[in-house]
Amino acid sequence: MLSTVIVLFCRRLTESEAKALELAYQDPLTGLSNKRYVDVLFGQALQLANRPHQALAVFYIDLDNFKPINDSAGHKTGDAVLQEVARRLKASLRSTDICARIGGDEFVVIATQIEQEEYVQEIAAKLLKQMQQPVVIDGHSYELGASIGVSLHPRHGQELAKQFALPKAG
């Protein structure tokens, strides 16, 4: 009887720890990685980028026209727009790429295993095209856009926070 209680307690503790880790590293609204976890993932991506003929690109994405949507249609609609943006970003990337929401309407994409720098412009164009498509929420169409900054490793730096003047996650 006591061993059964201990086993159940250990199982619940393990489940609670897993949930706590998920909350610590995941944006609850979009399901993307959060700012804290992107720092960890960037370090891992740098290890891959040090392989011969492999580059890494960091895309900083700031949505255009999001604040007016949030202000006029409300936060519920704004949240739905952000969820759709996250879905589009994930759908536009390879499984080896990393996508995170780092602020209100700010996202970071880390593209790994890039063999030719020309591919970076193609990725940026693809992401921008996705952000420029109207977002339809509850029968209403919303126009977004995005400003995208790109940084290449190792040319522009070795630290994520320095590449875009981001505060380090704490």
Integer Cα distance of 131 and 114 in angstroms: 22
Q: CB–CB of 46/156 below 8 Å?
A: no
Instruction: Give the whole-angstrom CA distance, residue 111 versus residue 58.
Output: 6
Measured distance CA(132)–CA(79) in Å, rounded: 17
Cis ω before 154 (30° cut-off from 0): yes
- Which candidate in 27, 71, 105, 138 is catalytic? 105
Nearest to 148 by CA among 169, 119, 123: 123
97 is catalytic: no
Res 164 pLDDT > 90: no
- The full length of the chain comes to 170
- 88, 33 in Cβ contact below 8 A? no
Amino acid 113: pLDDT:
81
pLDDT of 63 higher than 70: yes
pLDDT single digits (tens) 5-56: 676 655 765 665 555 555 567 899 999 988 887 777 777 666 666 666 677 8
Question: What domains can you pick out in the chain, each with its CATH number?
Answer: 29-163 (3.30.70.270)
